[in-house]
Structure 1
């Protein structure tokens, strides 16, 4: 897998075969403070090509997309469209005429009609008066040109996910863009919708439209793409024709060598203790017919892409969501869905995926945050006694080695790692029988990560059942088993001792 050829004609821009890449990035770097988000990134996409960009979380894909769409200026290197330098930063019209991104989260405004979305901020009319009939007529013509079969007068919020994607693509093409970035376009589509999307992509490619296809589902790369570029650790790793690249080699390029020191999950004997949590046929938004068991003292990991359903399942177990069907039983009692307080009372502790939005009250102290789940036992008749609060908080601070001036320090004055320890302390304060951790080490330093994962080993020794949901492979290494979610279902199970290559292959759907 070699770097793509950079051979050019005498003008220095157009390849010798006469075809200029529709987009080309060379030596692109981007830093945010001390963080290197891109280092020597490169990409070349030809007209009419479907080109995949793959890599694990943190590989640099999103940063490159932001550079290619003009959101971030590169700190170094060069981006060219059709052999010419990229537009100046801030020239949004020029950028829209060259590139568009259809994100996983739609940018369509649901309260507006399809026509209004297509011509937002450029409505046809005279003297400031919008020509509504003309706009609907031009919208119908635009949709027909690109074979998008939706009613221009329909409210966009009533469209299917896929039709919203097609409207976004049509809008991009109407500006003149012939390079479309699809960011996880199949995450919320069923199999029939995915095939329909691929049919439309193939038809548009025949007219010269090029796609950059970003997906965690690698089998889709083999179905719809001609070329694949791999990023890892903010760097370009390889570019190769898809047809010449075995799936195992692609996964290896994404993960690095699976035999490196520390690249395997810890090996342990299977846990044979009594079942503590039993989930049967659970279905809800994002997941379907999930059944699993977690035993006393067992740590089970849930892996999968961001839209695999793993987080939705976890948030259902802790009371943040209600399922459509199915059951969950913890210590022989039904799990109370849809009520976080009742879930805590039933013995479920929880570290949410975003400590800033869901885990902390920044205006309160370390002690108040750490004891929030047990405020009822800190004084009579619901009145918290400050002495009891400080004593309980001091015990948690010592237990988790939280670096703080004391229980009264505002929690927003702590480092990220210590804030996460406070969130963990709050989850442990109720002595849960089941501990659910979503991205438990996100945004923390290495030392804090080790301390947080050490807590898992400690509580499991006391018989607590633990579920870890994470995008980070290192978070899953303490697990006795890792269950892989794919399109809302459990599709693979890996016992302790898994390799990065095998687990990632299951996550990407190529195992």
Structure 2
């Protein structure tokens, strides 16, 4: 049991994980998963109940070393310090026992640790230069170096592409063979079936099910998570997009990312961008909105050629944007739901530069209703919301000024089944109102709402795939097997 004021975060919930297994913990945003993790890692004390490791009571909360020797968590938000080297991150606060650092010994210990767990990373490299996959593997190695044999992996694949996910799973299987126990938290249910032996479902702060994965049909798992039978999201049928071009790029190039890309999106059309992590798809999308200044080429939004690398100019021309990393770029955590959602139209909510609280609140209430944001109200800080509801606030901000074009990057990463449906539905609603959209996603199911998908490979668009593709066909192009 765990309460936060009047909110019951866990209500008699628990989990039992057998030694040496990979056990999934699934549930909708707000089901209590994060609270359980904070208790299992000694960051919170339960109001009732206890934590046992191999039958022994958990250490006192103040004894952080004892907790690290029993359990470690690799969070969705990286805890690696970019300005330090890999070796310094691996042995942070453990560099020495006598006040002096022997850098040669530290680097040697780091190389040994990385070699032991087959992490192909230079110990002397700056952590800030690592990609997402490498940072996660370094965090796993650091966790194991404390002696912990139980690791919690919180949405580890949210920002990985297909090949990187397969490499992570290979490492997880190797660790399991070495006797490491893992709790795997994910909204991607196909991953649960691929990598886990058992699954526990939380719903509304309670544990509702624990079953062997091999004995659990997919539909039953979804029903346990949602409390109802939930069909897969089905893209709506739309007619051919014959509207005006609302977003275009001509001969767009950015060194190291992509080259000579032409793109055209019409009103009423959803164009997908697919490819591996190195394909350039995210860089292209971010350049369309002005986050990167291209080396050459032009971007036109709703008939206006926008200044390269100028985000305000792109937004002012009628572009709505949902960034890849909602926590860093999508919202201001300490501002309220209403303030975040209405930021782009603040100038329209009052006179003489002063925002009318009543008008802002009225608009925020409308956004909350339209996107079904689970919140205490417009005044609640966005940082207090679950991941899925925080993402809905990011969508609300992107849509609040009725944009002519949308650019949406990995919109359903780290959100639950219901939230995915709501977010994809929001894109389709905007398109039906006459907007055009560019949807970048690592999730093939997200791309099913697209009228066509542009597949990128090594910085170039290699194929324009119309609606009706199969997973095999699209993945083959993404991996460069065919063009």
Q: Note the C-alpha offset of 1:229.
A: 1.6
Distance (whole Å) between structure 1 residues aligned to residue 16 and residue 70 of structure 2 = 15
Q: Note the C-alpha offset of 1:361.
A: 12
User: Under a length normalisation based on structure 2, what TM-score does the superposition of the two structures give?
Assistant: 0.65
Give the direction of change, closer, same or farther, for the CA distance of 1:207–1:213 in structure 2 (3 Å limit).
Answer: same
Select the structure of larger CA radius of gyration: 1
Task: Give the match for residue 185 of structure 2.
Answer: 214
**Aligned 8 A contact 2:289 2:407 in 1:** no
Q: 2:140 aligns with which of 166, 169, 172?
A: 169
Give the direction of change, closer, same or farther, for the CA distance of 1:290–1:211 in structure 2 (3 Å limit).
Answer: farther
Q: 2:23 aligns with which of 51, 57, 64?
A: 51
Q: 2:378 aligns with which of 417, 422, 435?
A: 417
Q: Note the C-alpha offset of 1:99.
A: 0.5
- Output the aligned Cα RMSD: 5.1
SS in 1 for 2:15: strand
Give the direction of change, closer, same or farther, for the CA distance of 1:56–1:329 in structure 2 (3 Å limit).
Answer: farther
Distance (whole Å) between structure 1 residues aligned to residue 360 and residue 93 of structure 2 = 57
Task: Note the residue ranges of structure 2 that are not aligned, 5 or more in a row.
Answer: 323-328, 366-375, 382-388, 432-436, 451-470, 472-483
Give the direction of change, closer, same or farther, for the CA distance of 1:176–1:266 in structure 2 (3 Å limit).
Answer: closer
SS in 2 for 1:44: coil
Task: Note the residue ranges of structure 1 that are not aligned, 5 or more in a row.
Answer: 1-28, 374-385, 405-414, 421-436, 444-448, 496-505, 507-511
1:295-444 aligned within 5 A: 295=267, 318-320=289-291, 329-334=300-305, 338-348=309-319, 353-354=330-331, 370-371=346-347, 401=362, 417=378, 439=391, 441=393
Q: Note the C-alpha offset of 1:335.
A: 5.5
**Aligned 8 A contact 2:241 2:269 in 1:** no
Task: Give the match for residue 107 of structure 1.
Answer: 79
**Aligned 8 A contact 2:247 2:265 in 1:** yes
Q: Note the C-alpha offset of 1:64.
A: 1.5
SS in 2 for 1:493: helix
Task: Give the match for residue 492 of structure 1.
Answer: 447
Q: Note the C-alpha offset of 1:82.
A: 0.8
Per-residue CA deviation, residues 98-152 of structure 1 (Å, 9 max, x unaligned), is 10011223222233233322222122354x2223333333333333333334343
Per-residue CA deviation, residues 312-349 of structure 1 (Å, 9 max, x unaligned), is 99876554556799986543445656323312442346
Task: Give the match for residue 229 of structure 1.
Answer: 200
Give the direction of change, closer, same or farther, for the CA distance of 1:252–1:494 in structure 2 (3 Å limit).
Answer: farther
Distance (whole Å) between structure 1 residues aligned to residue 85 and residue 7 of structure 2 = 42
Per-residue CA deviation, residues 203-229 of structure 1 (Å, 9 max, x unaligned), is 221221111112232222222111112
Per-residue CA deviation, residues 283-312 of structure 1 (Å, 9 max, x unaligned), is 9999999978563xx69899xxxx9x9999
**Aligned 8 A contact 2:319 2:405 in 1:** no
Distance (whole Å) between structure 2 residues aligned to residue 220 and residue 158 of structure 1 = 28
Distance (whole Å) between structure 2 residues aligned to residue 50 and residue 290 of structure 1 = 45
Q: 1:134 aligns with which of 84, 102, 105?
A: 105
Task: Give the match for residue 243 of structure 2.
Answer: 274
1:71-86 aligned within 5 A: 71-86=43-58
Q: Note the C-alpha offset of 1:153.
A: 3.3
User: Under a length normalisation based on structure 1, what TM-score does the superposition of the two structures give?
Assistant: 0.62
1:94 equivalent to 2:94? Answer no
Alignment length, in residue pairs?
404
**Aligned 8 A contact 2:68 2:148 in 1:** yes
Q: Note the C-alpha offset of 1:186.
A: 2.2
